[in-house]
């Protein structure tokens, strides 16, 4: 059952068709899918499912400013008079948990939905992104593999599902399967940025640099009309170029594709979580390799400050610490740490766990590193390095924090810790570690 096959409670065909189009568009990362939800609600203002879908989609923003809008959507979804199916009521139940920032409870509802409707692609997308943001890779993998027997190539959303399946397998280090599924997704739909992304992950983890450049450069012409995920795919291209030492081109792509202030997407949402994390991690990688990035840090300082009391996505908070420290705004960085600490001490949901176990320690390490306090980096980071996955994000994304730790160990000539980190990185799924920039020099100490 694809989203377009779902029985929807509205008696207005225009509303039902527009919502089905919106849900499909969201799964394909279309930048304008919210316009179709507006069309659905203009056609039927009491359409409960349209209110629920719009509010659930706002969780992708990972920002506290969306919570009141989500709450409003929940109230409107509940206020409708039309009788709802169990499927629709489950969406509303999941939204209740999402509004409370309880992605763990929302996921339990998603699992129940997929038990009954294993080909509900909208829920697959929602579940995967929630699990990804809280480091739950095993659940991510089990969810797609359980559903896989119910899918077949003639289904409209099959390529999208295969992109999801590819990424879940990649994070479990099942590289052969991930690459096969991702390439199948792209063969069926070359414009899908998530299928392209999944294969790019395989290639970067295996150190297949030239293949990675060719893969993304060959697909980037298909991404027109997509949302900020394409900025992240350009970021992935920059990771390959980093290994080639093409710093000049990276800076050019950073300005034109990764964080372009003139881009309509960036203008509309300069503090988008993907963009903030892309900027922080790419600029830091360049810094660590001695590349002058000019004033680019200052451009993302304001979005970083916006995370000081906004802990909906602890992963982004850790990247905000990188940015504030790089800009020399240490008072603001300290304010961020105080706020993150208070949140970690008081929140009993998944965000609090994420903050306590990983995001807060690595944020402190990033600030200490920028101050040149490498002893503090090692003392604070080494004991929690195995918990890094708890902060969410991918292995490739979290690697920037490992690079901070490795650099501090190199700066102090800590051979024992460097030897241990070399072993650790190999267990994370990175291949050809001793051939990678920064690591090659550090582990040769």
Q: What would the pLDDT profile of 339-366 be if each residue is shown by its tens digit?
A: 999 999 999 999 999 999 999 999 999 9
Query: Which of residues 413 and 5 earns the better pLDDT score?
Result: 413
Mean pLDDT across the stretch 401-407? 97
Q: What would the pLDDT profile of 304-340 be if each residue is shown by its tens digit?
A: 999 999 999 999 999 999 999 999 999 999 999 999 9
Mean pLDDT across the stretch 170-176? 97
Q: What would the pLDDT profile of 62-106 be if each residue is shown by its tens digit?
A: 999 999 999 999 999 999 878 899 999 999 999 999 999 999 999
236 φ, ψ to 5°? -65, -40
> CA-CA distance, 290 to 183, in Å (whole number)?
35
The tokens of 291 are what?
């590349």
Q: Contact, 313 vs 60, CB < 8 A?
A: no
Mean pLDDT across the stretch 196-210? 98
Give residue 7's pLDDT: 79
Give residue 327's pLDDT: 98
Mean pLDDT across the stretch 197-211? 98
Residues 6+ apart with CB under 8 A from 332: 305, 308, 324
Residues in the chain, total: 445
> CA-CA distance, 62 to 297, in Å (whole number)?
22
Q: What would the pLDDT profile of 260-273 be if each residue is shown by its tens digit?
A: 999 999 989 888 99
pTM of this structure: 0.95
Residue 1 has pLDDT above 60, yes or no: no
Give residue 95's pLDDT: 98
Residue 167 has pLDDT above 70, yes or no: yes
Q: What would the pLDDT profile of 106-138 be if each residue is shown by its tens digit?
A: 999 999 999 999 999 999 999 999 999 999 999
Question: Residue 11 class from Cβ within 10 Å (0-12 exposed, 13-18 middle, 19+ buried)?
Answer: exposed
Mean pLDDT across the stretch 55-61? 94
Express as a percent the part of the chain with pLDDT over 70.
Answer: 99
Give residue 2's pLDDT: 56
**DSSP letters for 349-396:** SHHHHHIIIIIHHHHHHHHHHHHT-HHHHHHHHGGGGGGGGGG-S-HH
- 213 pLDDT band, cuts 50/70/90, is very high
The tokens of 363 are what?
């944020």
- 47 pLDDT band, cuts 50/70/90, is very high
Residue 4 has pLDDT above 50, yes or no: no
């Amino acid at each position: 059952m694809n989203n377009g096959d779902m029985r929807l409670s509205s008696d207005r065909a225009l509303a039902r068709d527009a919502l089905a189009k919106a849900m499909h568009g969201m799964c394909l990362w279309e930048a304008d899918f919210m316009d179709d939800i507006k069309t659905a609600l203009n056609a039927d203002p009491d359409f409960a499912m349209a209110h629920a879908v719009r509010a659930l989609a706002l969780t992708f923003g990972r920002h506290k400013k969306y919570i009141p809008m989500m709450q409003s959507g929940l109230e409107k979804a509940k206020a409708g008079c039309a009788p709802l199916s169990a499927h629709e009521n489950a969406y509303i139940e999941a939204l209740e948990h999402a509004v409370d920032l309880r992605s763990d409870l929302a996921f339990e509802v998603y699992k129940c939905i997929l038990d009954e409707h294993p080909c509900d692609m909208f829920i697959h997308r929602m579940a995967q992104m929630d699990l990804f943001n809280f480091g739950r890779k095993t659940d991510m993998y089990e969810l797609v593999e359980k559903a896989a027997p119910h899918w077949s190539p003639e289904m409209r959303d099959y390529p999208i599902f295969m992109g999801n399946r590819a990424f879940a397998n990649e994070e479990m280090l099942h590289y052969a399967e991930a690459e096969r599924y991702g390439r199948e997704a792209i063969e069926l739909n070359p414009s899908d940025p998530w299928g392209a992304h999944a294969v790019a992950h395989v290639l970067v983890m295996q150190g297949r640099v030239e293949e990675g450049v060719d893969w993304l450069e060959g697909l980037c012409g298909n991404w027109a009309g997509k949302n900020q995920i394409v900025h992240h795919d350009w970021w992935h291209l920059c990771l390959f170029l980093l290994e080639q030492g093409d710093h000049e081109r990276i800076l050019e792509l950073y300005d034109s594709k990764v964080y372009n202030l003139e881009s309509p997407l960036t203008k509309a949402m300069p503090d988008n979580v993907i963009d903030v994390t892309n900027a922080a991690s790419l600029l830091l990688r360049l810094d660590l390799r001695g590349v002058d990035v000019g004033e680019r840090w200052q451009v993302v300082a304001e979005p970083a400050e916006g995370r000081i009391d906004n802990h909906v996505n602890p992963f982004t908070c850790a990247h905000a610490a990188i940015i504030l420290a790089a800009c020399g705004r240490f008072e603001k960085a300290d304010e961020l740490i105080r706020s993150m600490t208070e949140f970690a001490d008081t929140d009993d949901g998944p965000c609090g766990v994420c903050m306590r176990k990983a995001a807060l320690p690595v944020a402190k390490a990033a600030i200490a590193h920028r101050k040149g306090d490498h002893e503090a980096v090692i003392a604070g980071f080494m004991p929690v390095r195995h918990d890094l996955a708890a902060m969410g994000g991918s292995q490739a994304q979290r690697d920037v924090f490992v690079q901070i730790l490795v650099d501090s160990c190199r700066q102090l000539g800590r051979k024992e810790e460097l030897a241990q980190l070399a072993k650790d990185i190999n267990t994370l799924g990175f291949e050809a570690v001793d051939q990678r920039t920064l690591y090659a020099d550090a582990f040769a100490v």
